[in-house]
C-alpha cells in the first residue's frame, strides 16, 4: 500500500489540478467530493498550502470515532465504513491538519484513500505517491 507525500510545497502554483482530479474520480466535475484542498497562505504571492491526509500511523480521527466507522489502514491513515458513520464530525475536529474534508450532501467525512490520482495530475511535482 502507498501513501501521499508533499514533496515540495514551494513548487505549487495553485492550479488546483489535484483537487479537480480527486473530485473527478466519481465521474462528476466540481470540487465538493475532493479529499484534498489548496489555498493560499494569506495572499497568493506568499504561496500555497496543500491540505491532504498524511496517513498517520496512529490516526487521531480513528481514535475519536464513536462508532468504529474509521478503521486504521495498513501503511497509515484510515478507511471509512460509511454504513457505520453517523456524521458526528468528531474526526474532522480531531485532525489538526484539517485533512478530514466534509461531504455536505452526505453529511459524512471525505477520507483520502491515498490512490494517487492527485499526484498524477500535478504538473509541477508537488505531491507524489510513495510506495
Partner 1 sequence: MYRKDPLKNVLYIDLTNKKYWVEDRKDLFEQYLGGTGVAVKLLEEELPRNADPLGPENVIIFAVGPFNAVYPTASKTVAMFKSPHTGNLGESHAGGRSAVAIRLAGYGAIVIKGASEQPVWVAIHGKRVFFRDARAIWGMTSSFTVGRIIRENEPGSGFRTIMRIGRAGEKMVTYASVITETYRHFGRLGLGAVFGSKKLKALVVSGRSTIPIADKKAYKQVYNKIYQLLVDSPLMKKYHEIGTPINVMHLNEIKALPSLNLQKAELETADKISGEYLAEKYLGRRISCAHCPVACIHLAALREPYEDEPYFYKTTFIGYDYEPIYSLGSMLGAKDPEGMLRLMDTVDKYGLDAMTTGVVLAWATEAYKRGIIDKSDLAGVELDWGNYEAYIKAVEYIVDQPTELYKAMARGVAYASKKFGGEEFALSFGGNEPAGYHTGPGAYFNYAFGARHSHLDMAGYSFDQKTIGKEIPPEELVEKLVSEEQWRQILSSLVICFFARGVYKPEIVVEALKPLGFEISEEELKKLGEEIYYNKYRLKIREGFDPGKIKFPKRIFETPTPHGMLKPEYFEKTKEIFKQKILQNITV
- The answer to whether 97 and 87 have CB atoms below 8 angstroms apart is no
Compare residues 2 and 31 and give the one whose CB is closer to partner 1: 31
24 binds partner 1 (CB under 8 A): yes
44 binds partner 1 (CB under 8 A): yes
Residue 115 DSSP class: -
- The answer to whether 29 and 23 have CB atoms below 8 angstroms apart is yes
64 binds partner 1 (CB under 8 A): no
Can you tell me which of 2, 6, 7, 13 binds partner 1, judged by CB under 8 A?
A: 13
What whole-number distance in Å separates Cα of residue 113 and Cα of residue 101? 13
Can you tell me which of 3, 4, 22, 23 binds partner 1, judged by CB under 8 A?
A: 23
Amino acid at each position: 500500500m502507498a501513501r501521499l507525500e508533499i514533496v515540495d510545497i514551494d513548487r505549487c502554483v495553485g492550479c488546483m489540478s489535484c483537487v479537480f482530479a480527486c473530485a473527478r474520480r466519481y465521474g462528476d466535475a466540481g470540487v465538493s467530493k475532493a479529499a484534498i484542498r489548496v489555498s493560499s497562505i494569506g495572499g497568493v504571492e506568499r504561496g500555497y498550502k496543500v491540505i491532504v491526509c498524511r496517513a498517520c500511523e496512529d490516526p487521531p480521527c480513528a481514535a475519536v470515532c464513536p462508532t468504529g466507522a474509521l478503521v486504521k489502514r495498513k501503511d497509515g491513515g484510515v478507511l471509512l465504513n460509511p454504513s457505520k458513520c453517523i456524521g458526528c464530525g468528531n474526526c474532522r475536529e480531531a485532525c489538526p491538519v484539517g485533512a478530514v474534508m466534509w461531504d455536505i450532501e452526505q453529511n459524512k467525512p471525505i477520507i483520502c484513500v491515498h490512490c494517487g490520482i492527485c499526484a498524477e495530475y500535478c504538473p509541477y511535482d508537488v505531491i507524489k505517491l510513495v510506495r
